[in-house]
Amino acid sequence: MVLVVGGAGFVGSHVANALRAKKVPHAVVDNLENGHASAAGDSRLIRADIRDPDSLRQGFSEPVEAVMIFSGYISVGESYRDPLKYYDNNVRGVIELLRCAIRAGTHKFVFSSSAAVYGEPDAIPIEEDHPKRPTNPYGETKLAVENALRWCAKAHGIRAVSLRYFNAAGADPDGLLGEDHDPEEHLIPLAIDAAFGRRDRLVVFGDDYDTPDGSCIRDYVHVADLADAHIDALRFLEENSGAHEFNLGSGQGFSVKQVLNVVSDVCGRQVPFEVGPRRLGDPARLVASNARAKTALGWVPKFPDLETIVAHAAAWRERNPHGYADKLTR
């Protein structure tokens, strides 16, 4: 069985969906603090918190072949304001989980890491061996876990893959799952809501960067493609020992203003926006080299173009303007 920890969140729920489609036995573990019970679909849902080893043990009542870890807090801004919250959940919580899993005999781990481990890049596209200089507590916590996994691979013989997501975006192409953060801070869902008048105008965080139009460049990757990469990672761990890291990005960069144009085109409505000050800690450009994931994992992104990513996100948002229904009853 595969344990999908944080499987009721954005990326985790799409991975659980991919496991269901492939009929891989699994269970979702989530504390539902930020996840949504309905995002877990028909998967078995175990309510537990990684910071509470007693609750976690429920997940290991039967043999667990692999643990996938999606249970991190994700807001860079919040991590500056409350670093200990991030260290407590994203590092201590994962250590509790690893301890519990290793004791129970689990040997395979897939960890949700982030482009935030790199900080301000020296060059793009960013390759995996680029120096790691996180510029915020969030990125530090991701790097700390990657390093812990590497040491545990040596000490305990575990196998681990850390997947460094660039900008996860889009939604399930079948329309069953989507992005529902509270508060929402990500560019594409904010821009879609602004286009449809569900939010005030979008604020572009700075247009005085050293980029062609002055706004920041990011690499948006479809969440369904991220999900596939996790399935590929499980297969990779069958054959490979040690700890490994892979970038997951499309390999293409789009500026904030380019994204707003694509959202306007796809939605058929202008995105109202104004230019505001820079956001603390935003690198000017983050674009992945995805060559290693393609070669070693055999990862083949199915939805590499930004129009499709935005169209899937907009379709889900149209059908679920308030996000998941269970949020209203919490």
Q: By CB under 6 A, what part of segment 23-62 binds ligand UFG? A: none
The answer to the question of residue 202 lying near ligand UFG (CB under 6 A) is yes
Q: Which stretch binds ligand UFG (CB under 6 A): 197-205, 241-249, 261-269, 320-328?
A: 197-205
Site for ligand UFG in 103-122 (CB under 6 A): 114-116
Question: Do 282 and 205 meet the contact criterion of CB atoms below 8 Å apart?
Answer: yes
Q: Does 256 bind ligand UFG (CB under 6 A)?
A: yes
| Residues designated as active site | 138
By CB under 6 A, what part of segment 65-84 binds ligand UFG?
74, 76
Size of the site for ligand UFG (CB under 6 A): 21
Q: How far apart are CA 54 and CA 291, in angstroms?
A: 41
Retrieve residue 218's tokens: 């990011």
Smallest separation, CB 124 to ligand UFG (Å): 13
Among residues 14, 26, 218, 317, which is the contact residue for ligand UFG, using CB under 6 A? 218
Buried b (16+ CB within 10 A) or exposed e, 2-20: bbbbbbbbbbbbbbbbbbe
State the Cα–Cα distance between residues 253 and 126, nearest whole angstrom: 11
CB atoms within 10 A of CB 81: 10
CB of 279 to ligand UFG, least distance (A): 5
Main-chain dihedrals φ then ψ at residue 123, nearest 5 degrees: -155, 155
Q: How far is the CB of 305 from ligand UFG (least distance, A)?
A: 18
Check binding of 167 to ligand UFG (CB under 6 A).
yes
Residues 162, 165, 169, 171: what is their CA dihedral angle, to the nearest 10 degrees? Answer: -20
Token pair listed for 178: 């989507």
Q: Closest-CB residue for ligand UFG?
A: 216
Binding region for ligand UFG (CB under 6 A): 74, 76, 114-116, 138, 167, 185-187, 190, 202-205, 216, 218, 256, 279, 282, 286
